Amino acid sequence: MKDVPVKTLLTEGQYKRLKIVIEARGFTESGYIRHVILNDISATEDLVCQMQRLTGSTETDLKQATKGSGE
C-alpha cells in the first residue's frame, strides 16, 4: 500500500460539513477519501466501457489511433 499525501483548501464551513458527512457515513477521514477515490475510479471505468461499446473500439484500437495520428 502506498501513502498519498492529499492537500485541499476548504473553508471552515466546508470542512465542518465534510466532517458531518464523514461521521454520518461511519468513515474516518482517510477511509472516506479512499471511498471517494474508489467510487470515482469505478465510475470512470464504467464510462470508458460504455464509450467503447458505443464506438465499437477497444483499448488497443485507441492506442493505435493515437500512435497513427501524429504520423
Instruction: Establish if 5 belongs to a structural domain.
Output: no
Domain that holds residue 57: 12-66
**pTM (two decimals):** 0.60
Q: What is the DSSP string of the chain?
A: -----------HHHHHHHHHHHHHHT--HHHHHHHHHHHHHHHHHHHHHHHHHHHT--HHHHHHHHHHHT-
Per-residue model confidence (pLDDT) at position 59: 61
Per-residue model confidence (pLDDT) at position 22: 96
Residue 66: pLDDT over 90: no
Per-residue model confidence (pLDDT) at position 64: 66
Structure confidence by residue, pLDDT tens digits, 7-30: 889 999 999 999 999 999 999 998
Q: Please, which pLDDT band fits residue 52 given cuts at 50, 70 and 90?
A: confident
Per-residue model confidence (pLDDT) at position 7: 85
End-to-end CA distance of the chain: 40
Instruction: Establish if 46 belongs to a structural domain.
Output: yes
Instruction: Establish if 62 belongs to a structural domain.
Output: yes
Domain count, the chain: 1
C-alpha cell belonging to residue 5: 499525501
